């Protein structure tokens, strides 16, 4: 980590990213005692997302001097009632000791657009892909809360390249070994093929470290 520490930082994140963040803490990279999560899948409920996020940030402020928010910007929070209210604005309102990771969504935290294009080319011949992280598998029923078969049929089949899980924690390998029928049922519900792609958490780590440096300047 080049001497960089998260010891004086509390991390507030979407529950969808809990697998990666806990893995980084277990590895010793993320040396904070304070990890707080909102419920997974709240991108579908912006009002509840904001409520939970602000509550977690306020709690985090009582535990650490600085707060690092792990939420995407462009797609995780879309406020249809106030279209001009963005995730960046929400975070800016929390003060200078609160910073957010610079990524558009959780998949972008793990692999940038160029990397995703390369993976899509390798696994799907460049066809359109539905991207996921392991949290989208583990928390399927929260992430797709309220989705019926008609909505699934409307969204997934247009992704001719199928679904690709950017797996930086080895979750899918274990999932296939222990619950193969569940994964098959999941793919069947989506109506597209599903496969995992092993990746490192190097990009995620670099994005987190980038915000540590920002917070250190406060």
Domain ranges of the chain: 9-107+201-216, 112-198
Fold exhibited by the domain 9-107+201-216: Rossmann fold (3.40.50)
d(C-alpha 46, C-alpha 108), whole Å: 20
Note the pLDDT of residue 193.
95
> CA-CA-CA-CA torsion for 132, 156, 79, 64, nearest 10 degrees?
-10
Choose among 198, 23, 41, 20: nearest CA to 109. Answer: 20
Note the pLDDT of residue 161.
97
Chain segment 135-192, per-residue pLDDT in tens: 999 999 999 999 998 999 999 999 999 999 999 999 999 999 999 999 899 999 999 9
CA distances from residue 16 to 53, 77, 107 in whole angstroms, order as listed: 13, 14, 11
Which residues of the chain register pLDDT less than 50? 1
Note the pLDDT of residue 2.
52
Note the pLDDT of residue 3.
67
pTM for this predicted structure: 0.94
> CA-CA-CA-CA torsion for 123, 127, 133, 138, nearest 10 degrees?
-90
CA distances from residue 192 to 67, 175, 195, 205 in whole angstroms, order as listed: 39, 18, 10, 31
Other CB atoms within 10 A of residue 68 CB: 25
3-state secondary structure 137-156: HHCHHHHCCCCCHHHHHHHC
């Amino acid at each position: 980590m080049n001497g960089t520490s998260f010891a004086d930082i509390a991390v507030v994140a979407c529950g969808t990213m809990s697998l990666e963040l806990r893995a980084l803490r277990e590895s010793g990279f993320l040396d904070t005692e304070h990890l707080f999560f909102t419920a997974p899948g709240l991108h579908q409920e912006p009002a509840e997302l904001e409520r939970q996020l602000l509550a977690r940030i306020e709690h985090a402020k009582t535990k650490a001097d600085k707060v690092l928010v792990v939420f995407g910007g462009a797609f995780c929070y879309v406020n249809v009632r106030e279209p001009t209210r963005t995730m960046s604005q929400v975070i800016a309102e929390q003060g200078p000791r609160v910073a957010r990771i610079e990524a558009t969504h959780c998949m972008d935290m793990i692999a940038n657009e160029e990397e995703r294009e390369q993976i899509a080319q390798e696994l799907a011949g460049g066809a359109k892909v539905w991207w996921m992280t392991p949290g989208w598998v583990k928390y399927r029923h929260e992430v797709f809360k309220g989705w019926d078969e008609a909505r699934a049929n409307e969204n997934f089949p247009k992704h001719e390249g199928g679904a690709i899980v950017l797996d930086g924690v080895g979750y899918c390998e274990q999932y296939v070994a222990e619950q193969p029928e569940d994964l098959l049922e999941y793919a069947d519900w989506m109506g597209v093929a599903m496969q995992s792609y092993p990746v490192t958490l190097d990009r995620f780590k670099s994005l987190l470290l980038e915000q540590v440096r920002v917070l250190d300047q406060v």
